Amino acid sequence: MSGSTALEDVDEIVHEPDPEFAESTNIAAFMREYGIDDYEELIERTTTDLEGVEASGIEWFWDEVVDYLDIEFYEAYDEVRDDSGARRAPDDASGETASRGGPQFTDWYVGGKLNVAHNVVDRHAEVDDERRNTVATIWEGEDGEVREVTYHELHRQANQVANALEARGIETGDTVGLYMPMVPEVVSILYGCLKVGAIAVPIFSGFGVDAAATRIEDSECSVLFTGDGFYRRGDPVFLKSAADEAVEQAGHVEHTIVYDRLGSSTPRSEHEIPWDDGRDEWWAEAVETADDEYETKSLDSSQESLLLYSSGTTGKPKGIVHTHAGVQVQCAKEVYFGMDLKPADRFFWVSDIGWMMGPWTLIGTHTFGGTVFMYEGAPDHPQPDRFWEMIDRHELTQFGISPTAIRALRKHGERQTTSDEPSGSGGAGDDEWLEGHDLSSLRILGSTGEPWDPESWRWFYERVGNGECPIVNISGGTEICGCFLMPMPNQPLKPCTLGGPGLGMDIDIVDQNGNSVKEDHERGYLVARDSCPSMTKSLWSGDERYLNEYWSTFEDPPLWDHGDWAQKDEDGFWFLHGRADDVLNVAGRKVGPAEVEGALIDHEAVNQAAAIGAPDDTTGTAVVTYVVLEDGYEESEDLREELRAQVGEELGKPFRPREVLFVDEFPKTQSGKIIRRAIEATYTGEDLGDMSSIENPEALEELAEAR
């Protein structure tokens, strides 16, 4: 829901779950098992301290759910959590033992040993033929090619990846980059990394050179998996050249393993890609020749598993550190309860492996021996009904997608007909492409990444879900590899709602002083009052930035500030009202203003740059930029397009500015800091507020007139 959408616009309960369906859900079975009568009691039991109960709701739930979901540890843990800080490693700078404790530094499943790879692939492949021959992934390429990979095949290939990594010197705690197209092999790469105890570093395949290089340089990965390319809207996109430029810029990479998606390795290939004989190896030679047996390592619960990057408001992107126990339990919990995964389901969430939802989908579904559907290409190629056609043909049961993608699909006009086909109804408009596709296999719809608008939410619910499938609209983030807010599928729903707190998540809404305003139904900051197993154990760059980014706004008591405006209505439904900070959230993908500004300033014509987010009907937020030119350069449409293209090349096309506006100066403080809130308020027409700190108020007039 956009910041301008009032609660009165979404105050009608639209979805009432069918009683039979509600009783059949996994969460209903859990509630019956523990004698929990309703949703309010469920959240209270799993998130708060209760009288007469020895353990807090948080500890009770995260302990109980391990056995309930049959998550296997090699060695049982001694206690579910320790927030004393006693197990913290010595501080790198001082050499002294850190004394930090509390929710900021909580160790989960203390003393336990496990490996995500054992739970998601090994145990399914090592039992009877029925389970090992179950399809783990169904993949469809944009060109229509379909491949199915069984758990037995996935197990063998993940073992080959593990052996290939060890042959190249990778050990527990080393980082491995995944700058990969969405092909089935990304799954075996991810699980192969986890098997050896390496930290997987997924990088979005749509990132430009600079964004990829920043992540490679920060993580210092010595092995990088990439591909020759992939298909997008019928044309090949060459990934290897971007990977080479990123490696040259970042350093560290000693081995690049290249998967052949476009056929570049064949002698008569029409595609020529750059090649370094001292560093580059084809997948077929590096991995497919490796031994397919490997003994998965038993790792401490707190051993790092994933390094996922999220952009901050200033400086370089944040490296989010996740553990084996954390991502294992959180992802499994959410897919099983929130998305109601059943044994025969086919789970499809539109995501790249480089975004949190990629690993979330794989780990969550494969924990239960389920089937994940993966798609390589564009949602509207060759026609706007590509998703609907795939749902129909593959009988997919869960379908997760961003609101931006739904808004874009809605905008497509009527289907063009041939002389042999009946003409469109004329009134169907954006429903026309849905006609003729059977979507009755769908049970659950999902969404995340940005706010909804009520019209698009209703279209998704009524036209795609036939007014029967709940929309599990979730919000959390890379920092917890999961959700703070998540409706349960047996709940009623209002348009755009996020339901309420996720199971085991102690979430609140507070004012600027940290006082709860949740029950006052006021808009406030979305915060976490306690830790959860998947909460980042720190940032790759260190504890100080971690504490500053998430725990510095509210310190007594310590609250995790997630940066969103939230509100709970009088019927108990939670809603979000956009970001409370200035991270630019474009179509569910986040980038810091500093990264956009840096890309602009790299152009020889640009002296200064400022980037803001502006409301956009399709992407939710669009990037708008202002630039101050160097002397000797003149404003022109050609230069404007050059600058837009430069940002797209460096950071990826989703972040290309919608507008580039020229000004002579920015509003600044006396200390020379650009006042970005003044720039954004001037552009959007909002109240400027207190401008007493501005050194040059005349700059505001120029901003308002900028073209």
Q: According to the 3-state scheme, what is the secondary structure of 100-132?
A: CCCHHHCEEEECCEECHHHHHHHHHHCCCHHHH
- How far is it, in rounded angstroms, from Cα 374 to Cα 646? 31
Q: Which CATH class is domain 7-87+98-114+469-579?
A: mainly beta
In 3-state terms, what secondary structure has residue 576?
A: strand
CA distance 179 to 192: 15
pLDDT at 322: 98
DSSP letter, residue 345 = -
Instruction: Give the span between the Cα atoms of 13 and 553, in whole angstroms.
Output: 35
The average pLDDT across 372-383 equals 93
Out of 200-204, 215-219, 316-320, 570-574, pick the least confident: 316-320
Mean pLDDT (whole number) for 241-268: 94
3-state secondary structure of 216: helix
Residue 670 clears pLDDT 50, i.e. is over it? no
Q: Is 632 helix (H, G, I), strand (E, B) or coil?
A: coil
Q: Which CATH superfamily is 116-297+341-414+430-442 part of?
A: ANL, N-terminal domain (3.40.50.12780)
Closest CA to 351 of 182, 486, 223: 182
- Rounded Cα–Cα distance for residues 404 and 228 (Å): 29
| pLDDT band at residue 681 under the 50/70/90 scheme | confident
Two tokens at 408?
């874009």
pLDDT score of 481: 96
Q: In the chain, list all ranges with CATH 2.30.38.10.
A: 7-87+98-114+469-579
Residues written for the chain: 707
Long-range contacts of 163-166 (CB under 8 A, 24+ apart): 163/290, 163/291, 163/294, 164/192, 164/257, 164/286, 164/287, 164/290, 165/192, 165/193, 165/196, 165/198, 165/223, 166/196
Look over the chain and give the mean of its residue pLDDT values, rounded to a whole number: 89
Beta-carbon contacts of residue 656 (< 8 Å; ≥ 6 apart): 623, 644, 645, 647, 648
Residue carrying structure tokens 């996922």: 308
**How far is it, in rounded angstroms, from Cα 135 to Cα 121?**
11
pLDDT at 314 (0 to 100)? 44
Can you give the pLDDT at residue 691?
55
Nearest to 7 by CA among 684, 455, 496: 496
Instruction: Look up residue 284 and give its two tokens.
Output: 């077929």
Residue ranges of alpha helices (H) inside 121-230 are 123-125, 129-132, 151-167, 185-196, 209-219
pTM for the predicted model, two decimal places = 0.84
Q: Which contacts qualify for 41-49: CB closer than 8 Å, 24 or more apart?
A: 42/488, 42/503, 43/500, 43/501, 43/503, 46/503, 46/504, 47/501, 47/503, 47/504, 47/505, 47/506, 47/507, 47/530, 48/506
On the question of a cis peptide bond just before residue 697, with omega within 30 degrees of 0, the verdict is no
Q: Residue 311: its pLDDT value, please?
A: 66
Residue pair 551/538 in contact by the 8 Å Cβ criterion: no
Cα 215-331-10 angle, rounded to 5 deg: 95
Contact indicator for 210, 591 with CB cutoff of 8 Å: no
Quick: pLDDT tens for 104-148: 999 999 999 999 999 999 999 988 888 899 999 999 999 999 999
**Residue 656 DSSP class:** S
Mean per-residue pLDDT, 352-362: 94
Q: Pick the range with the lowest mean pLDDT from 342-351, 594-603, 654-663, 682-691.
A: 682-691
pLDDT(98) > 80: no
**Pairing between β-strand 299-300 and β-strand 507-510 as defined by DSSP bridges:** unpaired
What's the pLDDT band for 316 if we cut at 50, 70, 90? confident
Going by the DSSP 8-state scheme, the letter that residue 3 receives in this structure is T
Q: Where in the chain is the domain with CATH 3.30.300.30?
A: 585-705
Banded pLDDT at 560 (limits 50, 70, 90): very high
Q: What is the pLDDT of residue 442?
A: 98
Residue 419 has pLDDT above 80, yes or no: no
Q: For residues 468 and 485, what is the distance between their CA atoms, to the nearest angstrom? A: 22
User: What pLDDT is attached to residue 428?
Assistant: 37
Q: Give the type of residue at 35.
A: G
Confidence of residue 697 (pLDDT cuts 50, 70, 90): confident
| Percent of residues, the chain, with pLDDT higher than 70 | 90
Q: Which residues of the chain are in CATH 3.40.50.12780 domains? A: 116-297+341-414+430-442
Characterize 433-452 residue by residue with b for buried, 16 or more Cβ atoms within 10 angstroms of its Cβ, and e for exposed.
Answer: bbeebebebbbbbbbbbbbb
DSSP per position, 487-499: --TTS-B-TT---
Distances (CA, A) of 398 to 30, 388, 469, 638: 20, 13, 9, 45
Say if residues 299 and 197 touch (Cβ distance below 8 Å).
Answer: yes
Beta-carbon-side half-sphere exposure of residue 660 (alpha carbons within 13 Å): 28
Tokens of 123: 């145990």
Note the pLDDT tens digit of each residue in 41-62. Answer: 999 999 987 776 667 899 999 9
Which residue shows structure tokens 């002296």?
Answer: 607
pLDDT in tens, 138-191: 999 999 999 999 999 999 999 999 999 999 999 999 999 999 999 999 999 999
| Secondary structure (DSSP) of 443-500 | -EEEE-SS---HHHHHHIIIIISTTTS-EEE-EEETTTTEEEE---TTS-B-TT---S
Query: What is residue 425's predicted lDDT score, i.e. its pLDDT?
Result: 33
- pLDDT tens by residue, 391-410: 999 999 999 998 878 877 88
pLDDT at 423 over 60: no
Judged by average pLDDT, the poorest of 394-408, 592-606, 636-650 is 592-606
pLDDT of 628 > 90? The answer is no
Share of the chain above pLDDT 90, in %: 68
Instruction: Kindly tell me the sign of the dihedral angle through the C-alpha atoms of 580, 351, 241, 193.
Output: positive
Across the range 320-345, mean pLDDT stands at 98
Question: Which of residues 670 and 77 earns the better pLDDT score?
Answer: 77
Domain 585-705 has CATH 3.30.300.30: yes
Instruction: Give the per-residue pLDDT at 468.
Output: 97
